[in-house]
Amino acid sequence: MKRGKLLIVLVAVLAVFVAGYFGLRAYNKAYGDGTLKLTDFSADDVTAITVDCGGEKTAYVKDGGRWYCEDDREFPVDQEILSAMAGQIARTEAVRTAVKNVSQADMEAFGLNDPQAAVQYVAAGTEGGFLIGDKNNSTNQFYFKPDGSDTVYMVRRVVAESFFYGKIDTLKLPERLTYTTDNVVSLSVKRAEGEFEYLYFKDGCDEVYSDEYKWIERQSDGSLVPINGSKLSNVCTKIVSPGYTKAVTYAPDDAQLREFGLDAASASRATLVYKTYLAQEGGDAAAEGLKQVEATLLIGKAFDDESYYAMTEGSGVVGLVPRDTELIVAEYNLDTMAVMDVCKVSRRSIDSMDVSFDGVFHSIEVSAADTGADSPAKDDFEYTFDGEPCDKEAASAVLDLLHRMSGDRLADGTVEGEAYLTLTLLRNTDRFDRLILEFIPYDNSFYMLSFNGEQRLLVNKRSVQELVDGVKGLEQ
Q: pLDDT tens digit string along 155-171?
A: 999 999 999 999 999 99
Same domain for 185 and 164, yes or no, is no
Query: What is the distance between the alpha carbons of residues 166 and 375, in angstroms, rounded to a whole number?
Result: 60
Which residues, 6 or more positions from 49, have their beta carbon under 8 angstroms from its beta carbon?
59, 60, 82, 85, 86, 89, 119, 120, 121
In angstroms, the first-to-last Cα distance of the chain is: 110
pLDDT of residue 331: 64
User: Do residue 209 and residue 302 come from a single domain?
Assistant: yes
pLDDT of 276 higher than 90:
no
368: alpha, beta or left? (left if phi > 0; alpha if psi -120 to 50): beta
Fill in the DSSP letter of residue 306: S
Instruction: Quickly state the pLDDT bin for 175 (edges 50, 70, 90).
Output: confident
SS3 179: coil
Residue 137 lies in a domain: yes
- pLDDT digit string, tens, across residues 208-249: 999 889 999 998 898 898 988 877 888 899 999 999 999 999
pLDDT of the residue at 282: 52
> Given 300, 330, 360, which residue is the final one in a domain?
330
Say how many C-beta atoms besides its own lie within 10 A of residue 438's C-beta: 21
Whether residue 203 is found in the same domain as residue 317: yes
Does residue 26 belong to any structural domain of this protein? no
* Contact call for residues 170 and 58 (beta carbons, < 8 A): yes
Give percent of the chain with pLDDT exceeding 90: 73
Q: pLDDT for 330-347, tens place per residue? A: 666 656 788 899 999 999
- Is position 440 within any domain? yes
Q: What average pLDDT does range 60-80 have in this prediction?
A: 96
Is 140 inside a domain boundary? yes
Q: Can you give the pTM of this predicted structure?
A: 0.75
Higher pLDDT, 144 or 182: 144
pLDDT in tens, 117-126: 999 999 999 9
Please tell me the distance from the alpha carbon of residue 246 to that of residue 278, in angstroms, as a whole number: 29
| Band of residue 21 on the pLDDT scale cut at 50, 70, 90 | very low
Q: Is 195 a residue whose pLDDT tops 70?
A: yes
Radius of gyration for the alpha carbons in the chain, expressed in angstroms and rounded = 36
Our count of domains for the chain comes to 3
Residues 352, 271 share a domain: no
Higher-confidence residue of 10 and 151: namely 151
Q: Which domain holds residue 252?
A: 181-278+287-330
State residue 277's pLDDT score.
75
pLDDT digits (tens, 9 = 90+) for 451-475: 999 998 999 999 999 999 999 999 8
Which of 267-276, 282-291, 315-324 bottoms out in mean pLDDT, i.e. has the lowest? 282-291
Q: Are residues 192 and 316 in the same domain?
A: yes
| Judgement on whether residues 215 and 291 belong to the same structural domain of the protein | yes
pLDDT band at residue 434, thresholds of 50, 70 and 90? very high
- Establish if 175 belongs to a structural domain: no
For 359-409, what is each residue's pLDDT tens digit? 999 999 999 876 655 666 777 899 999 999 999 999 999 999 999 999 999
Range from 43-57, 277-291, 296-310, 438-452 carrying the lowest mean pLDDT: 277-291
Determine the Cα angle at 170 with ends 162 and 329, to 5°: 120
Count CB-CB contacts under 10 A for residue 282.
5
Last residue of a domain, one of 170, 203, 222: 170
- Note whether 351 and 420 are same-domain residues: yes
pLDDT at 233: 83
